[in-house]
């Protein structure tokens, strides 16, 4: 580790807020403690340098952006369950930054928020170190000045593979984003009431950092697609021109069984995994986001993110299995909630509009005890959709407006429809420290729609 002091701390000492740099030893101990001693995975060492870069989006346009290792999205990190990921972030930006490991169950000190670590100043480095516990499609992104740093390109995907996963003919990763460019074709400056209210959406739609690219698939084959919605505020109602596909997985790994669908809502921060194909040679399908009105000022029509060209036939060895895995439900759909978290808006004098949780900007919520079942009602008291994101832990959605969900899955983001009540269940495993939840529309998060709480033993 560079630019980072080592101090000795005693095991069992609580993780202190705002002083994590003095706890490098403890960070490591916690990271290792999160794993079984005999798991014996590899240590994957990665260097990520956050720096300015010229970003070419593939249609001749390019502009100054911020990226990990000079590419948007940043490098796709891959590991297997049980591996240790050790990522050294070096900050070559003109302002502080951090990395949040979205969806991962890691020690609090590795969560990458300014609540659990000192932000990494320009010229400094910080090493994140944790074991990969769950298989699934995750992502990493800046958690400092997010509305600016994510828009400029500081995000990437992280794929964790498990044993006994179903086999497909191929796999593609689609990281979706949109950009707002100004008249000169540069990233637009943030501003204005519409952007505060709706969150920033742009008219340039990207897959893997390229504007409306053409993807290909061989005729007759079935691929596994991992999709990440990395945009600041855009809801993607994903469709392939109406062609059916199978939903295989959600935020954190596979569902119990595939569900057939022709469209899939992917809120900001969410991931889905799909089985796509087989198609016949010569077909061309739009990769699009269908019209979705989340009660914003600006309405989105059906828009294209890219296209899928079906090439020459190739043999297939893939079938979509009827069963993917078993997930034990944490609670019955009508379990009694022990906490209510209310997302609301407040009209204030200076800002015009505040986004609040239980009436406060940056709500300080009650502690959660390790091992105790949490049944939370997440109430959306506003007329807009909000994607609720819980850091560091996965939850199950029990019901929405009293209606059981109908399937069990592991999530770290759930969309809250307007004027709704979503009941979730989760259990804090033994990772005490400071954690947060927030709206993943970055502008709402920045405007105060977040809560923080401690997990305690
Ligand atoms: Cu991707 Cu605090 O979130
Ligand atoms: Cu929101």
Report pLDDT digits (tens) over 118-138. Answer: 999 999 999 999 999 999 999
pLDDT in tens, 139-190: 999 999 999 999 999 999 999 999 989 999 999 999 999 999 988 888 888 7
User: What string of H, E and C letters represents the secondary structure of 317-355?
Assistant: CCCCCCCCCCCCCCCCCCCCCCEEEEEEEECCCCCCCEE
| Burial (Cβ within 10 Å: 0-12, 13-18, ≥19) of residue 52 | middle
Spacing, Cα 334 to ligand 2 middle (Å): 26
Residue 392, CB half-sphere, CA atoms under 13 Å: how many?
28
Q: What is the pLDDT of residue 223?
A: 98
**Residue 69: partners with Cβ closer than 8 Å, 6 or more residues away:** 47, 48, 49, 75
- Look at residue 8 and tell me whether its pLDDT is greater than 90: no
- Closest atom of ligand 1 to CA, residue 445: 2
CB-count burial class (<10 Å; 0-12, 13-18, 19+) for 407: middle
Q: State the pLDDT at residue 164.
A: 87
Distance between Cα 434 and ligand 2 center (Å): 22
Instruction: Please name every residue paired with 239 in a beta bridge, in sequence order, or none if there are none.
Output: 288
Residue 211's pLDDT is what? 97
Question: Relative to the CA of 141, which ligand 1 atom is closest?
Answer: 1
CA 399/CA 382 separation, integer angstroms = 19
For residue 444, give the H/E element and its range: helix 442-446
380-232-376 Cα angle (round to 5): 30
Q: Which ligand is nearest to the CA of 391?
A: 1
Phi, psi of 32 (to 5 degrees): -70, -35
pLDDT tens track for 235-292: 999 999 999 999 999 999 999 999 999 999 999 999 999 999 999 999 999 999 999 9
Report pLDDT for 453.
98
Distance 309 CA to ligand 2 centre (A): 35
Q: What CA–CA distance (Å, rounded) separates 423 from 171?
A: 33
Q: Are 294 and 235 in contact (CB under 8 A)?
A: yes
Can you give the pLDDT at residue 39?
Answer: 57
Tell me the CA–centroid distance for residue 211 and ligand 1, in Å.
Answer: 24
Q: Are strands 420-427 and 396-400 parallel, antiparallel or unpaired?
A: antiparallel
CA distance 340 to 25: 36
Contact by Cβ (8 Å): 254, 321: no
Q: Which ligand is nearest to the CA of 196?
A: 2
Compute the distance between CA of residue 150 and CA of residue 170 in angstroms, rounded to an integer.
29
Mean pLDDT on 348-375: 89
> Rounded mean pLDDT of 435-443?
97
Across all residues in the chain, what is the average pLDDT?
91
Kindly indicate the confidence band of residue 13, based on its pLDDT and cuts at 50, 70 and 90: very low
Interatomic CA distance for residues 3 and 178, integer angstroms: 34
pLDDT at res. 194: 82
Provide the percentage of residues in the chain whose pLDDT is more than 70: 91
Tell the residue nearest (CA) to atom 1 of ligand 1: 102
Average pLDDT over residues 380-387: 97
pLDDT above 50: residue 87: yes
Q: Is 95 exposed, middle or buried (0-12, 13-18, 19+ CB in 10 A)?
A: middle
Q: How far does the centroid of ligand 1 lie from the alpha carbon of residue 156, in Å? A: 13
pTM of this structure = 0.91
pLDDT at 25: 43
CA 385 to ligand 2 center in whole angstroms: 7
pLDDT tens readout for residues 312-353: 999 999 999 999 999 999 999 999 999 999 999 988 765 677
Q: Is the C-alpha dihedral spanning 303, 306, 309, 315 positive or negative?
A: negative
- List of residues 6+ apart from 183 with CB closer than 8 A: none
Burial status of residue 149 (CB atoms within 10 A of its CB: 0-12, 13-18, 19 or more):
buried
Q: What is the pLDDT of residue 349?
A: 62
DSSP label at residue 74: P
Write down the pLDDT at residue 350.
59
CA distance 388 to 371: 22
Ligand number nearest to the C-alpha of 383: 2
In ligand 1, the atom with minimum distance to the C-alpha of 413 is 1
Q: Which residues of 259-272 are buried (b: 16+ CB within 10 A; e: fewer)?
A: eeeebbbbbbbbbb
What is d(CA 13, CA 26) in angstroms, rounded to the nearest whole number? 8
Q: How far is the CA of 370 from the centre of ligand 1 (A)?
A: 22
Which atom of ligand 1 has the smallest separation from the CA of 143? 2
In 3D space, the residue among 113, 103, 182, 175 whose CA is nearest the CA of residue 144 turns out to be: 113
Q: Phi and psi of 227, rounded to 5°?
A: -120, 130
Task: Report the percentage of the chain scoring pLDDT > 90.
Answer: 83
d(CA 142, CA 98): 5
Both tokens of 240, joined, read 């392939």
Q: What is the position in ligand 1's atom list of the atom closest to the CA of 113?
A: 2
Lowest average pLDDT, out of 20-24, 220-224, 327-331, 388-392, goes to 20-24
C-alpha 446 – ligand 2 centre gap (Å): 10
pLDDT of residue 197: 86
Whether the pLDDT of residue 27 is over 50: the answer is no
Q: Which ligand is nearest to the CA of 343?
A: 2
- Say which residues have a Cβ less than 8 Å from residue 59's Cβ, sequence separation at least 6: 211, 212
Residues flanking ligand 1, CB < 6 Å: 100, 102, 141, 143, 269, 389, 391, 438, 440
Atom of ligand 1 nearest to the CA of 450: 2
CA angle 386, 391, 393 (to 5 degrees): 115
Q: Report which protein residue has its CA nearest ligand 1's atom 3.
A: 102
CB 141 within 8 A of CB 97: no
Question: Which listed ligand is nearest to 441 at the C-alpha?
Answer: 2
Nearest-atom index, ligand 1, CA of 102: 1
3-state secondary structure of 294: coil
Chain CA centroid to CA 33, Å: 24
Residue with tokens 């949780």: 357
CA of 295 to the centre of ligand 1 (A): 23
């Amino acid at each position: 580790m560079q630019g980072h002091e080592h101090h000795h701390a005693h095991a069992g000492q609580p993780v202190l807020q705002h002083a994590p740099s003095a706890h490098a030893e403890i960070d490591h101990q916690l990271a290792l403690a999160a794993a079984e001693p005999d798991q014996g995975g590899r240590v994957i060492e990665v260097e990520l340098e956050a720096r300015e870069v010229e970003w070419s989006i593939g249609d001749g346009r390019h502009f100054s952006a911020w990226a990990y290792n000079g590419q948007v999205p940043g490098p796709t990190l891959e590991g297997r369950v049980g591996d240790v990921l050790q990522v050294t972030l070096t900050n070559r930006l003109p302002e502080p930054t951090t990395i949040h490991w979205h969806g991962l169950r890691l020690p609090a000190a590795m969560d990458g928020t300014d609540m659990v670590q000192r932000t990494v100043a320009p010229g400094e480095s910080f090493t994140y170190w944790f074991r990969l516990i769950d298989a699934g499609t995750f992502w990493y992104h800046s958690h400092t000045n997010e509305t600016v740093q994510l828009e400029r390109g500081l995000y990437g995907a992280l794929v964790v593979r498990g044993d006994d996963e179903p086999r497909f003919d191929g796999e593609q990763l689609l990281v979706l984003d949109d950009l707002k460019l100004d008249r000169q074709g540069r990233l637009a400056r943030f501003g204005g009431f519409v952007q505060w209210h709706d969150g920033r959406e742009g008219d340039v739609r990207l897959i893997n950092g390229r504007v409306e690219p053409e993807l290909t698939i061989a005729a007759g084959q079935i691929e596994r697609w991992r999709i990440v919605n990395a945009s600041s505020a855009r809801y993607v109602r994903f469709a392939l021109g109406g062609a059916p596909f199978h939903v295989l997985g959600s935020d954190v790994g596979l569902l119990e069984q595939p569900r057939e669908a022709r469209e899939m809502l992917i809120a900001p921060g969410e991931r889905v995994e799909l089985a796509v194909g087989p198609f016949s040679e010569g077909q061309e399908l739009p990769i699009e986001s269908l019209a979705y009105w989340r009660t914003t000022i600006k309405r989105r029509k059906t828009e294209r993110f890219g296209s899928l060209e079906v090439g020459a036939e190739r043999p297939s060895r893939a079938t979509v299995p009827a069963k993917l895995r078993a997930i034990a439900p944490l609670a019955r759909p009508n379990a009694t909630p022990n906490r209510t978290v209310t997302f609301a808006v407040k009209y204030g004098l200076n800002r015009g509009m505040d986004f609040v949780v239980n009436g406060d900007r940056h709500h300080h919520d009650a502690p959660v005890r390790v091992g105790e079942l949490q049944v939370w009602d997440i109430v959306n008291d506003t007329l807009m959709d909000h994607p609720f994101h819980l850091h560091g832990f996965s939850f199950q959605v029990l019901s929405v407006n009293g209606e059981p969900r109908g399937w069990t899955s592991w999530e770290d983001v759930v969309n809250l429809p307007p004027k709704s009540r979503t009941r979730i269940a989760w259990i804090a495993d033994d990772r005490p420290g400071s954690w947060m939840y927030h709206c993943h529309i970055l502008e709402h998060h920045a405007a105060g729609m977040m809560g923080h709480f401690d997990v305690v033993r």
